[in-house]
Structure 1
Amino acid sequence: MPTVRADKQRDLLDGALRVFARDGYSRASIDALAQAAGVSTRTIYNHYGDKAGLFKAVILDSATRVAEHEIALADRLLGRIVDLERDLVTFGIAWSTPDPATADHFALVRQIRADSAHIDPDTLAAWQDAGPIRVRRALAVHLKAHAAAGLLHIDDADIAALHLVQLTAGSVAAASDISAEHVVRAGISAFLGAYRPEHARR
């Protein structure tokens, strides 16, 4: 298989990400993908085989980079807890705040959810492993550590991580008419109502 210079491959993946994020998988054309990346259609076919191969490369590359960004944020905000409720609120607000650097990725995620019937299930599974599942497991590691320190009572850290995200960023996304901080504070209150140890509730 012909190789593509690293800088040209980066341009190709970034350009294709913008097109897939804008048009979705089904509507994105090879011509538009090639034009956005500044390469020929032949380069795409030679290096990725077809549009499906390019799409898989794009979503895995983007998901991996965003996961690394999110895990670094979680490490910084959840790695050391001083005041549990205050620090979880700080995490929730940061997690719920859109980052321009990841805007194309999450636009692509919305397109994937709308177009999932036309995307190879193996590609969808690989994306989940590289992105959402990897991030959730990283959050679970922090929650387990805080449970071991007696700050939380958790039976299933993966479920607790899912609850933490849904009660903060997930709820903010679903309630655009309410201030993000208010939603996050209420979400963390609910989270602690479920996961704070009994002795700490008194």
Structure 2
Amino acid sequence: MAEQEDGQSPRKGTVEKRQALLRGARTVFGRDGYTRAGIDEIAAEAGVSTRTLYNHFGGKKNLFREVLLDSAASVTAAHAALIERHLSKVTDIEHDIAALAREWMGRRSEHAPHMLLVRQIISEGPHLPADLIEEWQRIGPRAVTEAVRVRFVELGVQGVLAVDEDNSAEAARYFTLLTAGSVTVDTFFGVVPMAREEVEARVESGVRVFLRLYAKEG
């Protein structure tokens, strides 16, 4: 296989340039929005030429789609790992579900670039393709809620939660709203800072309310 001048294989160099473009575009789209983001700025942020950008993605529209869906899939995978770790073997439902909620919110800064993209979706939604919004919801928010729902059904079978197939979607939705929703809304998706103590207080309050609704009695 032919080697590039820097010693990298052509395939490795191509993959790295693609990843650099995704990172650069995530930064620029998150900062400037879809409409205002420029191809030149994205290429400069990624450290590649505009020709390379067009060769990989064909233009800004396809690049935004790839950036949003790639970012959503990454965040979903991270949340799914948290859900698996905290809810796969529950010994104390209050402790374990609170630990999940605290870590979920405690690590939200890791997903700050994605939240910037989400804010752009909210502000520029009418200008974005409807199928893109639907696909983002499918592999992003709805996939995370589904991962919670599946675990809640299992905990219902185990007799830990008063959850079954009929009310599991509702339970998963309420869990995310009660533990993460108020922080997300009141910080405007991370724009306005919130003290760690306040975040933890809201999470713990949300967990208590959730368990009043869905904890198995006796």
Within a 5 Å distance, the mapping from 1:98-117 to structure 2 comes to 98-117=107-126
Higher relative contact order (Cα pairs below 8 Å, separated by 6+ residues): 1
Identity score, percent: 39
Q: Report whether the alignment pairs 1:195 with 2:206.
A: no
Report Cα offsets for 1:56-81 as digits up to 9, x if no partner: 01011111111111110111111121
Q: What pairs up with 1:1-202 in 2 under 5 angstroms?
A: 5-154=14-163, 155-174=166-185, 176=194, 179-197=198-216, 199-200=217-218
Q: TM-score, normalised by structure 2?
A: 0.84
- Contact conserved, 1:19 with 1:33, CA < 8 A, in 2? yes
> Which moved further from structure 2: 74-83 or 37-46?
37-46
Deviation at 1:174, TM superposition (A): 4.1
> Which runs of 5 or more structure 2 residues have no equivalent in the other structure?
1-10, 187-193
Tell me by how many angstroms 1:171 deviates: 2.2
| CA-to-aligned-CA distance 1:5-36 (integer Å, 9 cap, x gap) | 11110111111111111111111111111111
Give unpaired runs (5+ residues) of structure 1: none
Q: State the secondary structure of the residue aligned to 1:153.
A: coil
Of residues 174-183 and 70-79 in structure 1, the stretch that sits farther from structure 2 once superposed is 174-183
| 1:196 partner letter | A
Give, in whole Å, the separation in 1 of the partners of 2:87 and 2:205: 19
